[in-house]
Amino acid sequence: MKSLKIKTATLTFIVSVFVVSATLVAFTFPNKPWAVPEKFEKMKNPVKSDAGSIADGKTLYGTHCASCHGKKGKGDGSKAAQLETECGDFTTPAFQKETDGAIFYKMTEGRKDMPTFAKKIADESERWAVINYLRTLK
């Protein structure tokens, strides 16, 4: 009986150490920068940023993006707290400095909690319209 208590205590200790270690590693090594292939960095948005494309992009954003990124793009959507990675804030100067091609790549490919939108928004021109809308979030 004493042996079982010792084994249980040892196992509990080992699991506790593992959980604490994993948590520390997660906070010590933040997400790596999202590498974008040069081809996409230089890609230009083929969809003219006009009232129509911005309205289309806003509608698609509301359907596919707002639940995580928030209605105003600040990364505070209803699902944001449930994610392992922080949602981006589209209103920041850092985001707004990203090229349209880089944003298109990230939206198309996804990473970690960010899903791929290659199938969800299969029409590339619609993904570009979302980018036109994102440019209005300042």
pLDDT in tens, 24-68: 444 444 567 889 999 999 999 999 999 999 999 999 999 999 999
Inter-residue contact 75 to 89 (CB < 8 Å): yes
Tell me the whole-structure pTM to 2 decimals. 0.76
Buried b (16+ CB within 10 A) or exposed e, 29-48: eeeeeeebeeebeebebebe
List the chain domain ranges. 1-30, 38-134
Assign 3-class secondary structure to 24-53. Answer: HHHHHCCCCCCCCCHHHHCCCCCCCCCHHH
CATH architecture of 38-134: Orthogonal Bundle (1.10)
Q: How far apart are CA 27 and CA 33, in angstroms?
A: 15
* Residue 7: predicted pLDDT: 62
